[in-house]
């Protein structure tokens, strides 16, 4: 299962790289509710980590604890090897870009960027030059004299980034700053974040609920749900080898077919039985593998399913299902088909069809065949 990704893994293998942030067994209770449960991870220096999760998953709470706005109920956070629970935010060397940016409206762009330098009592003579350099870094050279409300949404984002970076913090925290932007600008700013982060090499923790953003910008992704870390992996592993059904479902479009485990092999092959249908797949979570007789579900991505009007075209694939198209959704770069399959009790399977050559179209009510390979179906308990 690891083979296809070995190349990526070896490129990323960093032998004993220094650790910038360690989160160890961190928990947070709000009136008996566990917002964060026993979270642990290490973040090496210079890497871009994204904490990804739905709202209420505890990702923002975790970030606020790292920033110092909240104190963990249990566990400890280390920055550059030092425990920081007792250190107030203004004594931590952390630059933060806030959800609503939190730029100071009574100051100009340059004054906003100069603020952290002034608060850190840097030599006043060096401040203007430094402010201009960072405004240029975020491509706002010459805009320093503008008031915040005179800048566009994207420009305000850039001021917020410059302000968070100008004092060369050990750590940059991004609290969903792109959530309010329209899609075009958001995608542009995601690439900006990545460019700036790589240019400066600053260790960064980003929080988002946008899976695309997480995949695009990050070196590592921590997926959180209900206060717990579900998986920490590089984006490509998170996508291709989700550790559990939650991760598989949260990132990408995944179909789940529930069944009973019939056979498990040493090599990680597993079959599940649904009615009369036997489906072959791979064990999704080797740490917690299903055993024969367990209830389990097979997860198959919408883009890994082939769609054809006649069964012969899919003969090379391991699994096949017959169904009827119930809906077609045109998304521009691809067509999404919803197909009800009789063999699994008319449950709907979603299929992406983005075959640029054939332009085959299926209509609602048409009978089709779905096919996929056994190695693309991950079985989770």
As a whole number of angstroms, the distance between CA 140 and CA 296 comes to: 53
Selected binder of another protein within 38, 73, 80, 99 (CB under 8 A): 99
What minimum distance in Å lies between the beta carbon of 96 and another protein?
Answer: 4
As a whole number of angstroms, the distance between CA 290 and CA 270 comes to: 8
E strands, 220-318, are: 220-225, 228-233, 254-264, 269-274, 277-283, 295-301, 306-308
Chain-centre distance of CA 303, in angstroms? 19
By DSSP bridging, strand 378-380 and strand 295-301 are antiparallel
Nearer to another protein, 208 or 297 (CB): 208
Nearer to another protein, 120 or 195 (CB): 120
Which phi and psi angles does 57 have, rounded to 5°? -85, -10
Selected binder of another protein within 134, 167, 337, 380 (CB under 8 A): 167
Q: Is residue 68 a contact residue for another protein (CB under 8 A)?
A: yes
Q: What is the residue whose two structure tokens read 């067994």?
A: 25
Selected binder of another protein within 149, 183, 316, 359 (CB under 8 A): 149
Beta bridge partners of 372: 319
Query: Collapsing DSSP states into helix, strand and coil, what is residue 173?
Result: strand
What minimum distance in Å lies between the beta carbon of 261 and another protein?
Answer: 47
Q: Is residue 89 a contact residue for another protein (CB under 8 A)?
A: yes
What minimum distance in Å lies between the beta carbon of 342 and another protein?
Answer: 37
Query: Collapsing DSSP states into helix, strand and coil, what is residue 294?
Result: coil
Q: Are 155 and 112 in contact (CB under 8 A)?
A: no
DSSP 8-state assignment for residue 62: H
The DSSP string of 61-122 is: HHHHHHHTSS--SEEEEEETTEE-TTS-GGGS-EEEEBTTB---TTSBHHHHHHHHHHHTT-
Q: Are 194 and 147 in contact (CB under 8 A)?
A: no
By DSSP bridging, strand 48-52 and strand 220-225 are parallel
Write the burial class of residue 121 (CB in 10 Å: 0-12 exposed, 13-18 middle, 19+ buried): exposed
Six-digit token pair at 58? 């505890």
Six-digit token pair at 77? 């956070």
Selected binder of another protein within 9, 17, 40, 69 (CB under 8 A): 69
As a whole number of angstroms, the distance between CA 309 and CA 307 comes to: 7
Q: Is residue 72 a contact residue for another protein (CB under 8 A)?
A: no
Q: Is residue 364 a contact residue for another protein (CB under 8 A)?
A: no
Q: Is residue 17 a contact residue for another protein (CB under 8 A)?
A: no
Selected binder of another protein within 56, 115, 127, 179 (CB under 8 A): 115
Selected binder of another protein within 116, 242, 281, 284 (CB under 8 A): 116
Nearer to another protein, 155 or 313 (CB): 155
Q: Is residue 88 a contact residue for another protein (CB under 8 A)?
A: yes
Q: Is residue 104 a contact residue for another protein (CB under 8 A)?
A: yes
Q: Is residue 119 a contact residue for another protein (CB under 8 A)?
A: yes
Q: Looking at 159-167, 186-194, 304-312, 353-361, which segment touches another protein (CB under 8 A)? A: 159-167
Q: Is residue 41 a contact residue for another protein (CB under 8 A)?
A: no
Six-digit token pair at 82? 């030092």
Nearer to another protein, 173 or 341 (CB): 173
What minimum distance in Å lies between the beta carbon of 111 and another protein?
Answer: 10
Q: Is residue 95 a contact residue for another protein (CB under 8 A)?
A: yes
What minimum distance in Å lies between the beta carbon of 195 and another protein?
Answer: 23
Q: Is residue 177 a contact residue for another protein (CB under 8 A)?
A: no
Q: Is residue 120 a contact residue for another protein (CB under 8 A)?
A: yes
Query: Collapsing DSSP states into helix, strand and coil, what is residue 184?
Result: helix
List residues near another protein by CB under 8 A.
67-69, 88-90, 92, 94-96, 98-100, 102-106, 115-116, 119-120, 149, 163-164, 167, 173
């Amino acid at each position: 299962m690891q083979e296809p990704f070995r190349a990526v893994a070896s490129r990323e293998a960093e032998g004993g790289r220094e650790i910038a942030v360690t989160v160890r067994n961190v928990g947070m209770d709000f009136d008996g509710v566990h917002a964060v449960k026993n979270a642990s991870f290490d973040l090496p220096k210079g890497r871009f980590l994204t904490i990804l999760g739905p709202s209420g998953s505890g990702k923002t709470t975790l970030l606020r604890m790292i920033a110092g706005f909240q104190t963990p109920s249990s566990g400890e956070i280390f920055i550059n090897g030092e425990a920081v629970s007792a250190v107030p935010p203004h004594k931590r060397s952390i630059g933060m870009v806030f959800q609503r940016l939190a730029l100071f409206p009574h100051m100009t762009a340059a004054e906003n960027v100069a603020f952290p330098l002034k608060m850190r009592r840097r030599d006043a003579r060096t401040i203007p030059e430094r402010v201009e350099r960072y405004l240029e870094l975020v491509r706002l050279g010459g805009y320093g004299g503008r008031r915040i409300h005179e800048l566009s949404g994207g420009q305000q984002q850039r001021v917020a980034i410059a302000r968070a970076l100008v004092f060369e913090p050990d750590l940059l925290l991004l609290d969903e700053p792109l959530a309010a932007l329209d899609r075009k600008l958001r995608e542009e700013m995601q690439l900006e974040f990545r460019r700036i982060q790589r240019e400066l090499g600053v260790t960064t923790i980003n929080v988002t609920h946008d899976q695309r953003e997480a995949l695009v910008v990050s070196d590592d992704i921590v997926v959180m749900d209900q206060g717990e870390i579900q998986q920490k992996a590089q984006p490509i592993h998170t996508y291709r080898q989700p550790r559990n059904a939650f991760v598989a479902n949260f990132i990408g479009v995944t179909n789940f077919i529930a069944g009973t485990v019939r056979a498990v092999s040493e090599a990680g092959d597993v079959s599940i039985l649904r009615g009369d249908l036997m489906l072959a797949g791979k064990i999704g979570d080797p740490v917690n593998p299903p055993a024969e007789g367990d209830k389990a579900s097979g997860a198959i991505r919408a883009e890994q399913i082939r769609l054809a009007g006649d069964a012969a075209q899919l003969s090379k694939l391991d699994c096949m299902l017959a169904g009827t198209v119930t809906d077609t959704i045109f998304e521009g770069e691809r067509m999404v088909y919803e197909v009800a399959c009789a063999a699994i009790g008319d449950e709907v399977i979603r299929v992406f069809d983005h075959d640029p050559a054939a332009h085959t179209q299926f209509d609602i009510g048409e009978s089709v065949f779905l096919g996929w390979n056994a190695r693309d179906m991950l079985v989770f308990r």
